[in-house]
Amino acid sequence: MSAFSASHISASPIAARGSSAPAVNDEEPQTSKQADDTLQVSEDDHSTNDTAGPTRADGTPMAPEEIQYLEQLKQTDRAVRQHEMAHQIAGGAYTGGASYEYEVGPDGKRYAVAGEVPIDYGPVPGDPQATVEKMQTVIAAALAPADPSPKDLQVAAQARQYLLEAKLEAAMEQSEMNQARDSGAATSPPEEAA
């Protein structure tokens, strides 16, 4: 079993102030309903700050370069997850669950910067036709992302090799069966008419 992997994509880290910040609370701000059916957001959402834009885990505003870095991390996270999902969808039963490498952003959240999906690309013993079908699926899965990684191309190349070997084995078996049938027909006595 091998694994497809997205190339490790990483932006240059920025020395974030307060990198040992406490965990971020990802819950929605608490709201309360007023009598006139309008929502009033509690002060827990930091909307009373005079800042607009992302904040660090400790609630302080990010510097422009931290915001840019955060956007790069978000974009990388989306690209890595899409890449691995493409493998999983195309590989079907031959793939396992994706695993990711994470980087913590200046907001204290984890973002996927690399990933891999395990895939079974070994031949099916004693069944060349099943191997052919399996390798066709494996090749499609390896090349499914828009930007296959070097590891993806390696898996596809190995699957192609197994595919060619299986096709050769299937052709040899078919040839042997044809020869046996032809030689059996030539050596059997003709049937007598009744």
Strands 2-6 and 99-104: unpaired
End-to-end CA distance of the chain: 61
Please report the pLDDT score of residue 180 as a whole number: 87
Please report the pLDDT score of residue 182 as a whole number: 85
What is the pTM assigned to this prediction? 0.67
Please report the pLDDT score of residue 108 as a whole number: 96
Is there a contact between 124 and 130 (Cβ–Cβ < 8 Å)?
A: yes
Using CA atoms, how far residue 154 sits from 2, 10, 47, 102, 132, in Å, is 10, 22, 51, 24, 18
Provide the residue count of the chain. 194
**Phi and psi at residue 61, to the nearest 5°:** -65, 145
Please report the pLDDT score of residue 169 as a whole number: 94
pLDDT along the chain (194 residues), means of 10: 55 34 35 40 43 85 96 98 98 97 97 97 95 97 97 97 96 90 68 56
Please report the pLDDT score of residue 6 as a whole number: 56
